[in-house]
Structure 1
Amino acid sequence: MNPRNRDLLVLTKKEKLNQQELEQEIALLNDLFFRVESSEAYFIANEVIDVNRYKLITKLHKVKQILKEQNHKPFVFISNKN
């Protein structure tokens, strides 16, 4: 796994962590971020609102198709489901 260069603030209940515990926490966080930041997770977490056709598009393959288009149409919005 090739972790990205990012700033992390790790809060723990312990007052101090030794180097091995800190590296383990960072490795677990990087693994979690790698899974969450994938494009599949992005397509699942978003939906497309097409005001032109008055449609809400939630099907994964259609959301993926619309978001990968080069020429985006006006009044087509990406909305996060959260």
Structure 2
Amino acid sequence: MKNSNRDLLVLVKDAYTNKEAMQYELQQLNTLLVNFETLESFCIAHEVFDIQKYRILTRRSQLQKIIEKDSLKPFVFICNKN
């Protein structure tokens, strides 16, 4: 598995956890995050509000086009559905 380049803050109850156990926990977290950080899950959790055209975009293809752009047009917002 490829090592990801990210900063994780992990809080543990037991301060005396050995290094191998902590490394195992980080590896498990990385495995979970790789599975959930996909374009498909991003498109499920977000929608785009286009205020200029009075539209709400929810289709994956529409979201992907907007996400891949370097900058958004004015009054186009990417919003989390939560």
**For this structure pair, what is the TM-score category when the shorter chain's length is used for normalisation?**
0.7 to 0.9
Counterpart AA for 2:30: N
Q: Which whole-Å deviations, capped at 9, do the CAs of 1:40-67 have from their partners, x for residues lacking one?
A: 3222221110111211111222222333
Contact 2:49 2:57 in 1 (8 A): yes
Matches within 5 A, 1:1-82: 1-69=1-69, 72-82=72-82
> CA 1:66–1:6 in structure 2 vs 1: closer, same or farther (change >3 Å)?
closer
Unpaired runs of 5+ in structure 1? none
- Shift of residue 69, structure 1, vs aligned partner: 4.2
- SS of the aligned residue for 1:67 comes to helix
- Aligned-residue CA RMSD (Å): 2.3
Q: Which whole-Å deviations, capped at 9, do the CAs of 1:22-79 have from their partners, x for residues lacking one?
A: 1110101111222233333222221110111211111222222333346743322111
Distance (whole Å) between structure 2 residues aligned to residue 37 and residue 69 of structure 1: 19
How many residues are matched?
Answer: 82
TM-score normalised according to structure 2 size = 0.73
> CA 1:73–1:8 in structure 2 vs 1: closer, same or farther (change >3 Å)?
closer
Identity %: 40
Unpaired runs of 5+ in structure 2? none
